[in-house]
Structure 1
Amino acid sequence: MRIVLTNPLLIPFRDELTRNGGDGHDWEFLAGRPDDEVVDRLREADVLVGSRVTPAMAAAARRLRLVHVNGAGVDRIAFDALAPGVIVCNTFHHGSSIAEHVVMVALMLSRRVRRADALMREGRWESVALDPAVPLGDTLAGRTVGVIGLGEIGTAVVRATTALGMRARAVRRTPGAPLPEGVRVDRVDGDDGLPDLLAGSDVVVVTVPLSAATTGLIGAPELALMRPDALLVNVARGPIVDEEALYDALASGSIGGAALDVWWSHPNDGGGARGYTRPFDTLDNVVMTPHHSGHTRTTFAGRAAEIAANIARLDEGRPLVNIVTASR
């Protein structure tokens, strides 16, 4: 089979891609190439491995059998433009990496690490040992984490935070669905339980996919429900949270802080390097990272191996795993 790979994140994992049944095929690595070149090379492709399919790409790839997204998100795939019968699969393996990131940034905000680090670099000690007026930080143990979404990321966040002594609650579309073994959640509600979760959580973690239903899910009314010392951690997609409302809540102190790993635009989409329009960079109560919470060797090695195994299944006529949909 002819396989075109367009995403640069998997280039260092060629060995993993060509093991487990991914070997013996004609791989073409086009990461970083212009769209018109990718369109041309897709005319003879059986498989596309990447995070993005434009209508022009889909129109050119008439013999395409499989689009294998190299991550979980499929919001950049032009499903309606794909030829009939094309299968779209995704892959995960990022839950533990993102859960560790959530714990890290929640602790950074709770202990005011960003401010302390900046002051130390200026030669200034801000410590209660020197000034009793300096606010004390807090532990995560004994506090409540509220998780919006209980997929791979959400369940991994519950595992990591409850291991540190936090209580967990969650909302998801199917509240009665069974939880994985060992996942301890005090309360699981449907989507209508979001207001209670926001009002009752010390740390709110957003993990749901971006869709028409989740765009703007957290706006000014929802942020107003949160406690003044509560933290918001977004590791899902930027537009799930209203940018203006979040900035206002952080700048006014109506919530305690936020850790943002995802933004409202991305350099790969022509959005520039900032990803935001409001001056989040001026706020001490924000931890900012460039959508890399899941970017670990563990994540990408696991994804590469699973993609290769799925390509082998396709070649052998066996059922694929992680099918998102088959185009009509």
Structure 2
Amino acid sequence: MRIVVTDPIISRFADLLQETTPGNDWEFVADLSPEEQSAAISRAEVLVCAKLSPEDAASCPARLVHITGSGADRVAVAKLPADTIVTRTSHHERSIAEHILMVVLAHQRRLLSVTDQMRAGIWRSVATEPSTAMHRTLDELTIGFVGLGGIGTEAVRLCTSLDMKAVAVRRNPGKTATADTNLEWVKTMEYLPELLAVSDVVVLCLPLTEETKGLMGTKQFQLMRSDALLVNVSRGAIIDEQALYSALQEGTIGGAALDVWWDAPNGTDAPESVARFAPLSNVIATPHYSGHALQTFVRRATEIAQNINAFNEGRPPSNTFDRAQSVAPF
């Protein structure tokens, strides 16, 4: 089969992919021009991609399209032929769960601001400056998850193992696995105001859909605790950008850890929203890298290869995308 790969990250694992799928013709085209990539897509029998425009999807004859992540919002799935099999892959759950734990601790210990003070030669602690705030330990905190898919489930497991209390809202509470028994409660999305009111940390880990776009705005920030941390590891557009900026500037909430943004970078040039938020002392800014562990991509490449072999042998691949559902359950 002719397999075309347009994703530059998964292309770094070309040897693994080729060694575990012998007998195929691979084309790694991430470094080519958009026009050359489109031409390659138009002759693919299998396409491995992170994004796919409506125009390229309409001209794509591939019988299998494998998305290299869990999100399908950048792939024009609806424009693909009805009989095209679409699959996805994740394996970032542990890495993102560790990122969530990291930013919670960094926020509680004021890691960034304290480091800046030390660099400036200032030794400020409760021993030298009585007005210095004392931090809380994890067992004093309640962490609230908005969405409870694979990422939320792994983060609940990790955080509650360190004695944090956890609550969650999701679209389908009945789908909560028995492994989530450490949760204090799981309720429907209508209970988001209650979650915001009781949580010291609010984590957004749900897909971007018409239902979730702009989910967090001025009204929601006013319901949060004034010292609460908002963590976004999903998509930027789930948050109203101006509302968050105002909430951070005015002290409506305690801080934000943003790993996803409202615009895409231009190469290594960060989008304008980064220049706006990163200077705020109560913001932890990262370049959408919470899932970028080596383990994540080795396992993704392995699953992609296994799915290609399964497809070639007439067996059903794993993690097939349900077009009727259009979005993963959260």
TM-score category, normalised to shorter length: over 0.9
For 1:136-147, what aligned pairs fall within 5 Å after superposition? 136-147=134-145
Give the partner amino acid of 1:321.
S
**Match in the other structure for 1:38:** 37
Q: Which residue of structure 1 aligns with residue 327 of structure 2?
A: none
Task: Kindly provide the CA deviation profile for residues 151-176 of structure 1, in whole angstroms up to 9, marking residues without a partner as x.
Answer: 11000110111011101111111112
The residue identity in structure 2 corresponding to 1:216 is G
**Runs of 4 or more consecutive aligned structure 1 residues displaced over 3 Å after TM superposition:** none
The alpha carbon displacement at 1:178 in A equals: 3.8
Rounded to whole Å, the distance in 2 between the matches of 1:154 and 1:303 is: 19
Structure 1 CA distance for aligned equivalents of residues 235 and 88 of structure 2:
17
Aligned to 2:15: 15
| Deviation for aligned residue 1:143 | 1.2
CA contact (8 A) 1:244 1:278 kept: no
Tell me whether 1:168 sits opposite 2:166 in the alignment: yes
Using the alignment, how far apart are the partners of 1:149 and 1:312 within structure 2? 33
- Are positions 1:297 and 2:255 aligned together? no
Counterparts of 1:1-328 in structure 2 under 5 Å? 1-20=1-20, 22-61=21-60, 63-181=61-179, 183-267=181-265, 273-276=270-273, 279-325=276-322
Greater length-normalized contact order (CA 8 Å, ≥ 6 residues apart):
1
- 1:92 match: secondary structure: coil
Which amino acid in structure 1 is aligned with residue 225 of structure 2? R
The offset of 1:217, in angstroms, is: 0.5
- Consecutive unaligned residues of structure 1, counting only runs of 5 or more, are none
Cα displacement (A) at 1:65: 0.7
Q: Which amino acid aligns with 1:12?
A: R
Q: Which runs of 5+ in 2 are unaligned?
A: 325-330
Range moving further from structure 2, 294-303 or 49-58? 49-58
State the TM-score, normalized to the length of structure 1: 0.94
The one-character-per-residue Cα deviations of 1:11-60 (angstroms, maximum 9, x if unpaired) are 2222332344x232111111132221111112221111111111221132
Percent of aligned pairs with the same amino acid: 48
Q: How far apart, in 2, do the equivalents of 1:64 and 1:326 lie?
A: 16
The secondary structure found in structure 2 opposite 1:279 is helix
TM-score (norm 2): 0.94
May I ask how many residue pairs the two structures share in their alignment?
324
Look up the SS of the partner of 1:282 in the other structure: coil
Distance in structure 2 (CA, Å) of the matches to 1:111 and 1:139:
9
Cα distance change, pair 51–170 in 1 and its aligned pair in 2 (3 A): same
SS in 2 for 1:229: coil
Q: Which residue of 1 aligns with 2:328?
A: none
Partner of 2:175, secondary structure, is coil
Name which of structure 1's ranges 298-307 and 259-268 shifts more when overlaid on structure 2.
Answer: 259-268
